[in-house]
Amino acid sequence: MYIVSACLAGLCCRYDGGDNADERVIGLVREGLAVPVCPEQLGGLPTPRPPCEISGDRVMTVNGVDVSAGFLRGAQEALKVAKMIGADKAVLKARSPSCGAGKVYDGTFSGRLVDGDGFFAAMLKAEGIEVETE
Ligand code: SF4
């Protein structure tokens, strides 16, 4: 089973109220092989919401508000779903501060990328779940 980013499955949960619909991911959901989750919504963040980036061990909005607690809670809740369905793989949205894997924005809101994982991706990897991005 796959756990997948809900925005890739076509849900409008992205920070700007849009989606990142990906036909491959939608196909996995249709076949009953994947369950979509949005860690940021599960963490209680609103949609739409200000853009956020990881800065050190925190997550900050573009306005300088520390939203780490919501990101952490959302990643924990989404991990519960992953475990509930017995997920062994994940397909997540690249570069997101929750879902990004391998590369995330550097915290300066300038579009620069650095090596690292989003909060949810890091948690899945720590549980031995294989993570790829779209
Ligand atoms: Fe998509 Fe993940 Fe961001 Fe939710 S937290 S909008 S699932 S990238």
Residue 67 has a pLDDT of 98
What is the reported pTM?
Answer: 0.97
**73: confidence class by pLDDT, cuts 50, 70, 90:** very high
Mean pLDDT of 114-133: 98
58 Cα to the center of ligand 1, angstroms = 17
**86: confidence class by pLDDT, cuts 50, 70, 90:** very high
Mean pLDDT of 115-121: 98
Q: Measuring from atom 6 of ligand 1, which residue has the nearest CA?
A: 14
Residue 18 has a pLDDT of 98
Task: Give ligand 1 pocket residues (Cβ under 6 A).
Answer: 5-7, 13-14, 38-40, 93, 96, 98-99
**118: confidence class by pLDDT, cuts 50, 70, 90:** very high
Residue 96 has a pLDDT of 98
Check: CB of residue 9 under 8 Å from CB of residue 36: yes
Residue 125 has a pLDDT of 98
- With both helix axes pointing from N to C terminus, report the angle between 119-126 and 68-84 in degrees, rounded to the nearest 10: 40
Q: How many CB atoms lie within 10 A of CB 68?
A: 18
Question: Which atom of ligand 1 is least distant from the CA of 13?
Answer: 6
Domains of the chain: which residue ranges?
2-133
Question: Which atom of ligand 1 is least distant from the CA of 15?
Answer: 6
What's the mean per-residue pLDDT of the chain?
98
**36: confidence class by pLDDT, cuts 50, 70, 90:** very high
Distance between CA atoms of residues 97 and 59, nearest Å: 7
Q: Measuring from atom 1 of ligand 1, which residue has the nearest CA?
A: 7
